[in-house]
Amino acid sequence: QVQLVESGGGLVQAGGSLRLSCAASGTIFSLNAMGWYRQSPGNQRELVASITSGGGTNYADSVKGRFTISRNNAKNTVYLQMNSLKPEDTAVYYCHADYLATILRNLELWGQGTLVTVSS
C-alpha cells in the first residue's frame, strides 16, 4: 500500500504564499527523485520542481526564485514552498516520486493532486 498523500493547496491572493506537502507511505526501500508537476485547464502537465535523493534541485524557469522544493527523508516527505504567487500559478499540483520498492525494484508513483488557486 504505497501511496503519496498531498496537502496544502487552497485559495490565496496574488503575492501570497502556500506550502504543499507530499508524504509517501507504505513499504519503501528508499525514495529517489521527487518532484512537483502542475496542470491547468487546457494545458499540458509541466514539471515545476524536482529534487534528488542527495538534495539537488531543478526548477522551471517560471518559478525560479519564487518556489523552493525540499525534502525530509526521515518522514518520506517532499515540500514545495511557493512564494510571490501569481494567477498564472493556478493549477492542480501533482506530487511524483521515483522510489525503490526493493533494492532491485524501481517504481514511480503519482499523488492525486491538490488544487492551488491564485486570485488577482
| pLDDT computed for residue 18 by the predictor | 98
End-to-end CA distance of the chain: 40
Reply yes or no on whether the pLDDT at 50 is more than 90.
Answer: yes
The single residue listed with the C-alpha cell 504567487 is: 85
| pLDDT computed for residue 20 by the predictor | 98
Q: Is 38 exposed, middle or buried (0-12, 13-18, 19+ CB in 10 A)?
A: buried
| pLDDT computed for residue 1 by the predictor | 77
Radius of gyration for the alpha carbons in the chain, expressed in angstroms and rounded: 14
Reply yes or no on whether the pLDDT at 19 is more than 90.
Answer: yes
The SS3 of residue 68 is strand
